Amino acid sequence: MPTTGQPRIGVFALQGDVREHLATLRSLGCEAIGVRRPEELATCDALVIPGGESTTMAKLARIFGLMDPIRERIAGGMPAFGTCAGMIMLADRIVDGAVGQETLGGLDITVRRNAFGRQVDSFEGNLHMTGIEGPVHGVFIRAPWVEEVGPGVEVLARVEGGEAAGRIVAVRQGALMATSFHPEVGDDARVHGLFVDLVRGA
């Protein structure tokens, strides 16, 4: 538990775009630390899982003994926010995952990995997100989309326009939140702000 008034938010730091998340969280006044060991996780009020490569993340989480401690914290109500590969890590089910690919789970969703296809595997576009006024610029890099959501899951954003229009790209379930895109890229901290509000309310 924090000793300051600000929440202490960990960023899973074994793989992925950790620095961008740390910088965005700090810009919001949070204490933010990279998490590589269970002892570091234990000092955090919440955890962000960055973008990167979900199969590598899962393997490293196993090797470094973080998989089960993070699962236990999530089961105990710790808020967590996953972006892109982080969304895959928080999903209960994957379509087109690697053989035997493990996730942390917690979110009652099915994600399709690399869902947007090879030709347009990276793109940017504006979308609207529940809880945020005005458009959010979404950066998608070999992103997953959410194929199915369970009854307790709130859809926060969908792709607007193009072939993938209507696809779910942001969700929330209790203290867990995930986006297919990378709000840590660029200087708009509003999506992280939504998560920090959730942490403060938890």
Per the annotation, binding residues for L-glutamine are 52-54, 113, 141-142
Residue 50 has a CB neighbour count (10 Å cut-off) of 27
Q: Could you list the residues known to form a binding site, using ranges.
A: 52-54, 113, 141-142
Q: To the nearest whole angstrom, how small is the minimum distance from the Cβ of residue 202 to ligand GLN?
A: 25
Among 54, 103, 173, 179, indicate the residue that binds ligand GLN (CB under 6 A): 54
User: Can residue 183 be called a binding residue for ligand GLN (CB under 6 A)?
Assistant: no
88 binds ligand GLN (CB under 6 A): yes
Catalytic residue set = 84, 182, 184
Identify which of residues 58 and 194 has a Cβ nearer to ligand GLN in the complex.
58
Place of tokens 């696809």: 167
Query: What is the chain's alpha carbon radius of gyration, rounded to the nearest angstrom?
Result: 15
Do 13 and 47 meet the contact criterion of CB atoms below 8 Å apart?
no
Identity at 155, one-letter amino acid code: V
Give the integer Cα–Cα distance in Å for 47 and 38: 12
DSSP assignment string, 151-182: TTPEEEEE--SSTTTT-EEEEEETTEEEESS-
Span interacting with ligand GLN, options 28-36, 51-59, 71-79, 102-110, rule CB under 6 A: 51-59
Residues 120-139 that bind ligand GLN (CB under 6 A): none
Choosing from 31, 40, 53, 92, the residue that interacts with ligand GLN (CB under 6 A) is 53
Rounded CA-CA distance 154/86 in Å is 18
Q: What angle do CA 163, 108, 13 make, to 5 degrees?
A: 85
Which of 11, 35, 141, 168 binds ligand GLN (CB under 6 A)? It is: 141
Among 84, 146, 156, 178, binds ligand GLN (CB under 6 A): 84
**Helix, strand or coil, per DSSP, at residue 41:** helix
3-state secondary structure of 6: coil
* 14 makes contact with ligand GLN (CB under 6 A): no
- Residue from 7, 10, 51, 183 touching ligand GLN (CB under 6 A): that is 51
Asked if 50 and 16 count as a contact pair (C-beta separation under 8 A), the reply is: yes
Number of residues this chain uses to bind ligand GLN (CB under 6 A): 11
**CB of residue 18 vs ligand GLN: minimum separation in angstroms?**
12
Where do contacts with ligand GLN occur on this chain (CB under 6 A)? Answer: 51-54, 84-85, 88, 113-114, 141-142
